[in-house]
Amino acid sequence: MTVPTITLTAPVGDAGAPLLVLGPSLGTSTILWEDVIPALAVDHRVLAWDLPGHGASPAATEAFTVDELADGVAAAVADLGPFGYAGVSLGGAVGLTLGLRHPSLVRRAAIIASGAQLGESQGWHDRAAQVRAQSTSSLITASAQRWFAPESIARRPELSGRLLHALQDADDESYALCCEALAGYDIRGELGRIGMPVLAAWGTFDRVAPEEKSAEIARGVQSGTVVEIQDAAHLPPAEAPEATAAVLRDFFKEA
């Protein structure tokens, strides 16, 4: 196991504003957040990060855990000081793990379309094997069905297409290693140790991380709230950027 190298985008927003770090969903890249960042940058200095082998981050060659992925994010951002955090799916799992492993760095966290445990372990191992044998291209149809609410692709066809291309362009081995990290991820018994304020947000049509996953987070942490993002499934920042930005601005302005 090893701590992966994480690449950050250049910060957007006033250099003196509070820092806000944005995390991705598996198979996507920082483009997931591009329609939300301008609204968030009104009040914050905003940057985003890519998973190993996705977007601008280098490919991974060794296995890693979600703990180690969180350590990689912490190492990449540590010199910039404490920050607010928002992450989607695997990026949300990283946010919760940052709260456990690096509580002095994270002021508050929005955990979007995610959970303290996600999917079935064998399912993640099966997906990793599929990608190693057939590449991430073999996931396009199933991912489109998981990611998007019924009208999302028609409402935002260009961005939806770019996200699916990001999946196709992801490094196969890195994607498989992310799947295996998720296979071993389960912090349900540790939620009570997370002391930072946590917002758990879920998309109305999300079947990967439905309402009960967000409710479990909000109940388990020391200071948690839950909110629904309508007209979205598993990628609310891309599907419903205005609603997602409004939810996040309300949450982070309380810091």
pLDDT one-digit tens code per residue, 228-251: 999 999 999 999 999 999 999 999
If residue 216 lies in a helix (H) or strand (E), which one and from where to where? helix 211-220
Give the pLDDT confidence score for residue 34 in this predicted structure: 96
pLDDT one-digit tens code per residue, 15-53: 999 999 999 999 999 999 999 999 999 999 999 999 999
Q: Does pLDDT of 65 surpass 70?
A: yes
pLDDT above 90 covers a percentage of the chain that reads: 95
Q: Does pLDDT of 110 surpass 60?
A: yes
Residues 6+ apart with CB under 8 A from 6: 49, 50, 52, 57, 69, 72, 73, 75, 76
pLDDT one-digit tens code per residue, 127-161: 999 999 999 999 999 999 999 999 899 999 999 99
Question: Do residues 224 and 217 lie in contact, with contact meaning Cβ atoms separated by under 8 Å?
Answer: yes
Question: Do residues 17 and 44 lie in contact, with contact meaning Cβ atoms separated by under 8 Å?
Answer: yes
Q: Does pLDDT of 10 surpass 60?
A: yes
pLDDT band at residue 255 under the 50/70/90 scheme: low
Give the pLDDT confidence score for residue 253 in this predicted structure: 87
Q: Which among 121, 118, 96 has a CA at the least distance from the CA of 190?
A: 96
Kindly state the average pLDDT of the residues 55-61: 95
Which is the CATH superfamily of the domain at 7-252? Alpha/Beta hydrolase fold, catalytic domain (3.40.50.1820)
Give the pLDDT confidence score for residue 146 in this predicted structure: 95
Ranges of each domain in the chain: 7-252
The span from the CA of 236 to the CA of 114, in Å, is: 11
Residues 6+ apart with CB under 8 A from 171: 52, 53, 54, 59, 60
Reduce the secondary structure of 101-164 to three states and give it as a string.
Answer: HCCCCEEEEEEECCCCECCCHHHHHHHHHHHHHHCHHHHHHHHHHHHCCCCHHHHCHHHHHHHH
